[in-house]
Amino acid sequence: MNGLPEYLIQTREFSAGIPSEYLGKKRSDVNLLSINPSSGTYSIGRFSDIAGLLQEGDLLVFNNSRIIRSSLKGFARDHDRPVRVNFGYCEDGTIAEIRDRLHEYHGGDKIMFADGSFVTLEQRYERYGRYWHVSISDTESFKSLMKGSGDFIIYGENSPSYPESVYSSELATVEGSVEYPCALRPFTGDVLGLLGRRGVQLAPLTIHCNLGSLDASEFFHQKSLLPEFYHLPVRTAEMISKARDNGGRIIAVGTGVARALTTVYRNNAFMPGKGFTSIFIDQNTVTGLDGIVTGMHDPTTSHILLLSAFADIALIRSSYEASSDHGFRWHEFGDSCIIFGSRR
């Protein structure tokens, strides 16, 4: 972590492990931190206030990816112990994270599953050693087992499992994310109605979230993240172009959307297409965007550096510290933030 102090935000850790609906509240009842870099100010309100912060003609680009079950309990034959395995992807196959901090794993080790299928650890992922390239003994059997017995990825030893309805959204229609694209979560029907009456438009793209956010010690020197599949449809690219021509602001809903749009931003335009992106965004990145709506993130992850492309890190630091004083909570079921950054 040496060399990173300018990015680290000293704030109390408030992890939101319980969805709003389990507390008798709506998803849109979460808090909203609004950061305005042009004035160097921030304010705190409720997420349902977001429509009042936007203008007619603004365009929110959201991720229509839906989370899939991608975690299995297995048995490490060479270690004679049960183990949980989280699965993700790379451009040419499957990668896995072995959730076992007590034992060292090696190439050739096998993880067995209840139906008799297994995965073999082939070699460590090139950029990040906590992940493994794996081969699957029986792909169809593995898919069936995952669909019937797999879990959604969660972190924390005592984190509860929730049903699929907790992760669903009427706007998330394309299966593929292995971790929860949570920025869309507070956009409930009533909020969407308010946005529509305000004259704010929404347009979809797809970016399938890969395995977990990397820690500072991992991403800082790599300047590259795990690859994620994206697809920017022609229709969405056309809507972006039209909104910009009419003076509307283009605002990404989620860090994944910001990464996908920045990947395809060339010659002052967002080019439609599909592929994989490992783009790393920091304060030096030209995104072409006018803002971002996102969840509140752990201050030591790559997400905070991405936000510095929209606002000075000192302003983010002070606003985050103030939000913690107001009880803001981080992670997928936590509060939200909107930043109106200057287009560059």
Do residue 97 and residue 170 come from a single domain?
Answer: no
pLDDT of 84 higher than 90: yes
Residue 248, in any domain of the structure: yes
Do residue 296 and residue 203 come from a single domain?
Answer: yes
pLDDT of 200 higher than 50: yes
Domain that holds residue 96: 71-149
Do residue 245 and residue 114 come from a single domain?
Answer: no
pLDDT interval class at 122 (50, 70, 90):
very high
Q: Which of 122, 149, 176 is the last residue of a domain?
A: 149
Do residue 62 and residue 79 come from a single domain?
Answer: no
Do residue 62 and residue 126 come from a single domain?
Answer: no
Computed over every residue of the chain, the mean pLDDT equals 90
Residue 230, in any domain of the structure: yes
pLDDT of residue 12: 45
Do residue 169 and residue 302 come from a single domain?
Answer: yes
pLDDT of 215 higher than 70: no
CATH of the domain at 245: 3.40.1780.10
pLDDT interval class at 321 (50, 70, 90):
confident
Do residue 177 and residue 241 come from a single domain?
Answer: yes
Q: Which of 118, 149, 180 is the last residue of a domain?
A: 149
pLDDT of 171 higher than 90: yes
Per-residue HEC secondary structure of the chain comes to CCCCCCCCCCCCCCECCCCHHHHCCCHHHCEEEEEECCCCEEEEEEHHHHHHHCCCCCEEEEECEEECCCEEEEEECCCCEEEEEEEEEECCEEEEEEECCCCCCCCCCEEECCCCCEEEEEEECCCCCCEEEEEECCHHHHHHHHHHHCECCCCCCCCCCCCHHHHCCCCCCEEEECCCCHHHCCCCHHHHHHHHHHCCEEEEEEECCCCCCCEHHHHHHHCCCCCEEEEECHHHHHHHHHHHHCCCCEEEECHHHHHHHHHCEECCEECCEEEEECCCCCCCCCCCCCEEEEECCCCCEHHHHHHCCCCCHHHHHHHHHHHHHCCCCECCCCCEEEECCCCC
Percentage of the chain beyond pLDDT 70 is 90
Do residue 103 and residue 168 come from a single domain?
Answer: no
pLDDT of 8 higher than 80: no
Do residue 230 and residue 297 come from a single domain?
Answer: yes
List the single range of 38-52, 155-169, 232-246 with lowest mean pLDDT: 155-169
Residue 5, in any domain of the structure: no
Number of domains in the chain: 2
Residue 306, in any domain of the structure: yes
Residue 28, in any domain of the structure: yes
Do residue 60 and residue 145 come from a single domain?
Answer: no
Do residue 175 and residue 115 come from a single domain?
Answer: no
pLDDT of residue 161: 81
Which of 314 and 298 is assigned the larger pLDDT? Answer: 314
pTM for this prediction: 0.92
Residue 9, in any domain of the structure: no
Residues 16-37 have pLDDT tens digits of 578 989 889 999 999 999 999 9
pLDDT interval class at 11 (50, 70, 90):
very low
pLDDT of 1 higher than 60: no
Q: Which of 149, 180, 209 is the last residue of a domain?
A: 149
CATH of the domain at 140: 2.40.10
What mean pLDDT comes out for the span 103-125?
95
Residue 260, in any domain of the structure: yes
Do residue 290 and residue 175 come from a single domain?
Answer: yes
